[in-house]
A and B are shown apart, each in its own frame.
Chain A
Amino acid sequence: MLNLLWLIPLTPFAGFLLNGLFGKRAGKGFVTAVAILASLAAALLGTAAVLQYHGAYPNGARHVDLVYNWFSSGGIGADIAFQLDPLSVIMLMVVTWVGFLIHVYSVGYMHEEEGYWRYFAYLNLFLAAMLILILGSSYLFMFVGWEGVGLCSYLLIGFYYTTDYAPAAGKKAFVVNRIGDFGFLVAMFLMFAYLGTVDFAGVQQRAAAGGVDASILTAICLLMFLGACGKSAQLPLYVWLPDAMAGPTPVSALIHAATMVTAGVYMIARSNVLYRLAPNAMMVVAIVGGLTALFAATIGLRQWDIKKVLAYSTVSQLGFMFIGVGVGAFSAGVFHLVTHAFFKACLFLGSGSVIHAMSGEQDIRNMGGLRDKIPQTFRTFAIATYAISGLPLAAGFFSKDEVLASAWATPYFPAVGKLVWLLGTLAAFCTAFYMYRLLYLTFYGKFRGTHEQEHHLHESPATMTGPLWILAILSAIGGLLSLPEGIWHGPSLASWLAPIVPEVEGAHHIIEIPMAQELTVAVISTIVAVLGWWVARSLYKEKQLASDAMLEQRAPGLARAIENKWYVDEFYAATVVRPLAGLSRFFWRGVDAVIDGIAAMLGFIVRGIGDLLRFFQTGNVRNYALMFFLGVVVFIAFFV
């Protein structure tokens, strides 16, 4: 299997082809079978490869499966090659198995949708692209997957294309992501120019060997981080993710929570050698991560749309992951990525189950009291809420704590580390608060929806609750993957990932956190999380919406600002979108048409109205010739 790694992305791609070509005519049974089997096959093949890899490379070395040389010239080139190493193994397991669960869930969730075949074709294509992203052995090949997932994300966000907002949201996602892609591309060109390769191992070796200017490494790292900001929705490029909720809910769970949006974190963990040699870039990553974590969490405090709350929560949690990789705790960042995949997928799928039960309703103001109506959904949602809030002993508790403790203890920039820790801790408070607010407003109190909705309330089918339970259990026990050093000395996620962070001269190695600090941070985090829960409980469990109204009265300006997401979209529209559109129009109307206009005016004066139309036709050519001539004159004047 190790030499057949290419089969792993190929199976979902085959699923995409089959469903894309024949799905419409072949019917739902065929589509379901193909899509589920394709994702299951990818998961099984991936698991087989991982087991073999573990046997063959017990010390965590890199396995490369070269398919062929993509192109090469002048000693520079790139291969089509897949690789397995401890980091890809983790990503592979998360992506394929969570992906499989969400495929199963989608069968129940989407069964009444028009375009069922289209949905599963796109979903399989996404899986294939995502697998290329995490298995590719060079930045360039990774970029192929990177663009592929972006495209699928665009197609799936715009899935309900008959609505107005869905295609617009898809477009926004794609355009914002292209800004990030610019960074990624330029970073690759710089690698080609200064390191002579884009292969992961090659880049690592040449950077570690020294001789490359630190400013170049910093530039490469910052540009890559720009790419990561786009894909992983960090400040200031996060704006597309909340809108991306226009897509079907399982897509939000798979692409916009568990897998694609974590690609940026993966990228930085993958490039840890470069980043450790450019601590300034790391500091930027950590600060942006911390600010995003807090900023998005505050917006989450006052959203009404169940999916929007989760979307901002995702942005915020991604911020935590970037804190982790930014302060040099690469395994902690990846650990949080894994646990987040569990609980956030569970929450999104749970929200999907709620929306399904509520006949499409997404506004929590019209929900309430669902606890007894959809008990399975409620229980799984409650477990995942507990986990994400960082309450003791669930998955989020361990991973978030690891991230925050690392920020506190980081050797790269101790003072800034403390600040980032503070941002993260405040965000953790908000997280517990908005998640429990969501839980209480949705599942407690009295039902606030219409009679019809109440009449239709029903628990989701087993294809939906099954995945929910699996993810809920993982959310509860996922923390066991990587217990802190002080408690557990055996194999863990951290020790498994240790080989991907090699010793490099002139750079810090894995962060050692003293036991006392670890404990202090853990206690503070726990207090903060419990506080967040307690405040939310006292405000919302009984009083429900009344509390929001009360808050609005107390601080109307602040409430409105948060409700309107700090007016960031409006800010972008005024500063970026409109000027750009104006520029485009300027070139069109201005450069190409002003000359037309002047000549037309002259013609109007000289020949009168009757000749005007005729003049436009020949007049154009005259203007073009004039422009041509002016161009020549300008160039000659410039040179001579």
Chain B
Amino acid sequence: MTLHPLLEPGWVQAILPELILSAGGMLLILVDAFLPRIKGILAPLALLLFIAAAWAEALISRGGIYFGGTYEMSPITALFDLTFLLAGMLAVLFAREYLERENMEGGEFYALLLWGTVGMMMMAKGLDLLLIVLGLEILSICIFVLVGYNRRAPVSNEASLKYFLMGAFATGFILYGTALFYGATQSTNIGVMTRWFSGAQSTPLLTVAFVLLMSGFGFKLALAPFHPWAPDVYQGAPTPVAGWLSVAPKAATLIALVRLFNAMGPMLPKVSWMSMVAALSTLSMIVGNAVAIVQRDLKRMLAYSGIAHVGYMTIAMLTVRDDSVAAITVYTIVYALMNIGAFGVVSLLTKNENDPHTLDDIAGLGFRRKFYGFALAICMFSLSGLPPTAGFIAKFYIFKTAIESGHTTVALVGILTSITSVYYYLRVVYYLYMKEPAEGSTPAMFGGIFATGALTIAIIGILGIGIFPAQLFQAAGNAARILLRQ
């Protein structure tokens, strides 16, 4: 065994985004502590920090492997990091006016978003299972607090507690799985595991390890049957948090899984592990879409729709190839835009957070608040996969790669269920444009320049990627090829 020098040259540049976010979070808390009068600058400051991190990510960080073979910077991690940063920025933009309205603005809210993003970056870049789990835990702690941030609302506390208990439960499975993998392969390092897997035979122990790990990650992804927490937690969480939570942690988990599956690549043809992934995916698509149809609460509907969307993304995990990884990458970016956008519009509804936000609340919104209505409609079209929105091309690509890889049955289930899903997404549009509001019962919309900015970004992104997807697919494809060559 050779000893690596622990700090390779260039390591500061490599983790500059993480450093900016970590220090920035502390700065935000300090600013809030020492200058409590000017809460208004917290959100712009957080935005600035996200932008600085994105700048560092895109322009400063250099590719390579750092910290003794445990931390990797590559184009694919850059793409995912930028997705996390985008999700974080959108969350900040929606949170700004939401927190002001609910009268609970504080530096720690934004700090937690920043730190959570650091955790996700660790998951994306970690070349060691332990590092991935560490990132996951950093992220989870931030999520517990963010979900329960609305301390006065019992529903928020309950959601936080649920996520905490269930999260701890799931982490146990992940850790146990990791330990078993370590027992079999003598390492938690992905690189070492890759070499080991290329010559190994499957043992029952390994299978159990895989099931435990996959179940734990399946929980984080809200894949059925590990999903029941998601609707409760999304419903209880402050709405901008719910939007962020429904996207960013899932993206981080997906990229970590891609890495793991890629390492297992040589082993996979010999075992039937992927049938578990196929089962999770199929079940998620069916349960998510079927249950979303009967939901009248917008946040719960989006939660179930999220379960279905992860189901679609998981189809592309069945065969880890360059175009399937590209498909996942593009899908997460698109999903971030449309889902955070959709939750964002819901977050603007001025309502007691303990009450459900139902379809009736948005009746006639398309004519009362044209821009918000239009934005929500675009998000719905994209979620349902109607061209020319980005949701169409992203979904199309997923199904196309799946059919080319021979996963026809799962892809057919995906196409069928996604066609069913149009029913409940379009019902939102129906309420927006074809429903008279019930008398005096529709809540006001509270939103200013921040929310408008976020929705503008979402709309431009959804239509832009939908109409001009070529560059993004090319970048994702190239990044995926570099990832898989190792």
| A631 adjacent to B225 (CB under 8 Å) | yes
- Chain B residues positioned under 8 Å from A413 (CB to CB): none
Contact with B along A173-185 (1 / 0, CB 8 A): 0110011011001
| A627 adjacent to B228 (CB under 8 Å) | yes
Q: Which residue of A lies closest to B480 (CB)?
A: A73
Within the complex, the shortest CB–CB distance from B270 to chain A, in Å, comes to: 13
Tell me which residues from 90 to 116 in chain A have a Cβ below 8 Å from any Cβ of chain B: none
Task: Report if B102 contacts A (CB, 8 A).
Answer: no
Query: Which single member of A174, A621, A630 contacts B165 (CB below 8 Å)?
Result: A621
| B162 adjacent to A620 (CB under 8 Å) | yes
A73 to B469 CA separation, bound complex (whole angstroms) = 11
| B215 adjacent to A171 (CB under 8 Å) | no
| B470 adjacent to A174 (CB under 8 Å) | no
- Chain A residues positioned under 8 Å from B214 (CB to CB): 635
Query: Which single member of A181, A587, A639 contacts B287 (CB below 8 Å)?
Result: A587
Tell me which residues from 67 to 91 in chain A have a Cβ below 8 Å from any Cβ of chain B: 68-74, 76-77
Within the complex, the shortest CB–CB distance from A29 to chain B, in Å, comes to: 22
| B469 adjacent to A192 (CB under 8 Å) | no
| B477 adjacent to A174 (CB under 8 Å) | no
| A631 adjacent to B433 (CB under 8 Å) | no
Task: Report if A454 contacts B (CB, 8 A).
Answer: no
| B426 adjacent to A174 (CB under 8 Å) | yes
- Chain A residues positioned under 8 Å from B273 (CB to CB): 639
Stretch at the interface among A143-151, A299-307, A442-450: A143-151
Within the complex, the shortest CB–CB distance from B477 to chain A, in Å, comes to: 5
- Chain A residues positioned under 8 Å from B166 (CB to CB): 621, 624-625, 628
Tell me which residues from 225 to 246 in chain B have a Cβ below 8 Å from any Cβ of chain A: 225-226, 228-229, 232
Task: Report if B146 contacts A (CB, 8 A).
Answer: no
| A182 adjacent to B416 (CB under 8 Å) | yes
Query: Which single member of A583, A584, A617, A623 contacts B158 (CB below 8 Å)?
Result: A617
- Chain B residues positioned under 8 Å from A635 (CB to CB): 211, 214-215, 276, 279
A625 to B228 CA separation, bound complex (whole angstroms) = 9
| B272 adjacent to A71 (CB under 8 Å) | no
- Chain B residues positioned under 8 Å from A624 (CB to CB): 162, 166, 228-229
A322 to B142 CA separation, bound complex (whole angstroms) = 61
Task: Report if A209 contacts B (CB, 8 A).
Answer: no
Within the complex, the shortest CB–CB distance from B24 to chain A, in Å, comes to: 34
Known: A167-B430, A167-B434. A189 touches B226 (CB 8 A): no
Within the complex, the shortest CB–CB distance from A542 to chain B, in Å, comes to: 45
Task: Report if B71 contacts A (CB, 8 A).
Answer: no
| A585 adjacent to B294 (CB under 8 Å) | yes
| B430 adjacent to A587 (CB under 8 Å) | no
A620 to B400 CA separation, bound complex (whole angstroms) = 39
Task: Report if A37 contacts B (CB, 8 A).
Answer: no
The range of chain A's interface size is 35 or more
- Chain B residues positioned under 8 Å from A174 (CB to CB): 422, 426
Query: Which single member of B291, B403, B469 contacts A584 (CB below 8 Å)?
Result: B291
Query: Which single member of A72, A158, A193, A627 contacts B225 (CB below 8 Å)?
Result: A627
- Chain A residues positioned under 8 Å from B412 (CB to CB): 186
Q: Which residue of A lies closest to B436 (CB)?
A: A162
Q: Which residue of A lies closest to B327 (CB)?
A: A73
Query: Which single member of B232, B323, B387, B469 contacts A74 (CB below 8 Å)?
Result: B323
Query: Which single member of A147, A155, A190 contacts B387 (CB below 8 Å)?
Result: A147
| A625 adjacent to B434 (CB under 8 Å) | no
A186 to B161 CA separation, bound complex (whole angstroms) = 44
- Chain B residues positioned under 8 Å from A175 (CB to CB): 422-423
| B226 adjacent to A592 (CB under 8 Å) | no
Task: Report if B170 contacts A (CB, 8 A).
Answer: yes
A175 to B427 CA separation, bound complex (whole angstroms) = 11
Within the complex, the shortest CB–CB distance from A620 to chain B, in Å, comes to: 7
Task: Report if B359 contacts A (CB, 8 A).
Answer: no
| B290 adjacent to A584 (CB under 8 Å) | yes
Within the complex, the shortest CB–CB distance from B284 to chain A, in Å, comes to: 12
- Chain A residues positioned under 8 Å from B272 (CB to CB): 639
- Chain B residues positioned under 8 Å from A587 (CB to CB): 286-287, 290-291
Task: Report if B219 contacts A (CB, 8 A).
Answer: yes
| B208 adjacent to A620 (CB under 8 Å) | no
| A171 adjacent to B225 (CB under 8 Å) | no
Contact with A along B401-440 (1 / 0, CB 8 A): 0011000000110011001101100110010011110000
Tell me which residues from 475 to 504 in chain A have a Cβ below 8 Å from any Cβ of chain B: none
| A143 adjacent to B173 (CB under 8 Å) | no
- Chain A residues positioned under 8 Å from B419 (CB to CB): 178-179, 181-182, 185
Q: Which residue of A lies closest to B207 (CB)?
A: A639
Q: Which residue of A lies closest to B288 (CB)?
A: A587
- Chain B residues positioned under 8 Å from A620 (CB to CB): 162, 228, 232
The 7 A-B residue pairs with the shortest CB-CB distance in the complex, in nearest-first order:
A161-B434, A144-B387, A631-B225, A624-B228, A587-B290, A178-B419, A584-B290
User: Measuring CB to CB, which residues of chain A are less than 8 angstroms from any residue of chain B?
Assistant: 68-74, 76-77, 140, 143-144, 147-148, 151, 154-155, 158, 161-162, 167, 170-171, 174-175, 178-179, 181-182, 185-186, 189-190, 192-193, 583-585, 587-588, 591-592, 617, 620-621, 623-625, 627-628, 630-632, 635-636, 638-640
Interchain Cβ contacts under 8 Å between A and B, 22 examples: A71-B393, A71-B470, A72-B473, A73-B474, A74-B322, A161-B436, A171-B427, A174-B426, A189-B400, A193-B403, A621-B161, A621-B162, A624-B228, A627-B228, A628-B225, A631-B215, A632-B211, A635-B214, A636-B207, A636-B208, A638-B276, A639-B276
